[in-house]
Structure 1
Amino acid sequence: MSWDGVQIAALEALGHVRYRVEVPGQTLPDDALLDALLRASGRSRDADDAYALYRSFGALDGLRRAEAKRALWPRLRRLRAR
């Protein structure tokens, strides 16, 4: 389940803990490039949509080329603006 900011604040104010349910096969790889992409998009590893965003990037090895990085910046800016 995905929570919005108001719901998260209310749960924390009540002293409740949100648990993340790990779905098999939906773990993020330990990769510095992925961490940088998540930060650039305004997300963190524990964000609800981090795995979906990781999948939308495609193969991380392909993003290590300079031309792929340049093409990715407009998309990251749009994600950060949300």
Structure 2
Amino acid sequence: MSWDPVQIAALDALGHVRYRVHMPGQTLPEDALLDALLRASGRGRDDADAFALYRSFGALDALRRADAKRALWPRLRGLRPR
């Protein structure tokens, strides 16, 4: 399950802990690039929306090209919590 930004803000304001719900097939691959992307977006492997974010990146192999990485940075900065 992934939380939308409004739900995250409400749960955080109430002091609740968001748990990641594992659905079948929702495991993150062990990949250094994925770990770097999650860190750059201000998230970690244990965040509730990490799998949805991983799926939104598309094929990780395509992101290994320099031009794809440059295009991705503005999007990652926009994902960081404020």
Give the TM-score normalised by the residue count of structure 2: 0.78
Structure 2, unmatched stretches of 5+, are none
Partner of 2:52: 52
Alignment CA distance shift 1:19-1:55 (3 Å) = closer
Highest RCO, 1 vs 2 (Cα 8 Å, sep ≥ 6): 2
Structure 1, unmatched stretches of 5+, are 12-17
Give the TM-score normalised by the residue count of structure 1: 0.78
**1:68 matches 2:68:** yes
What is the CA deviation profile of residues 48-75 of structure 1, one whole-angstrom value per residue up to 9, with x for unaligned ones? 0000000000000000000000000000
Q: Considering only CA atoms, is the larger Rg found in Structure 1 or Structure 2?
A: 1
Aligned-pair CA distance for 1:23: 1.0
User: For 1:5, which of 12, 16, 29 is the aligned residue?
Assistant: 12
How many residue pairs get aligned? The number is 75
Alignment CA distance shift 1:6-1:68 (3 Å) = same
Between the aligned partners of 1:10 and 1:61, the Cα distance in structure 2 is: 36
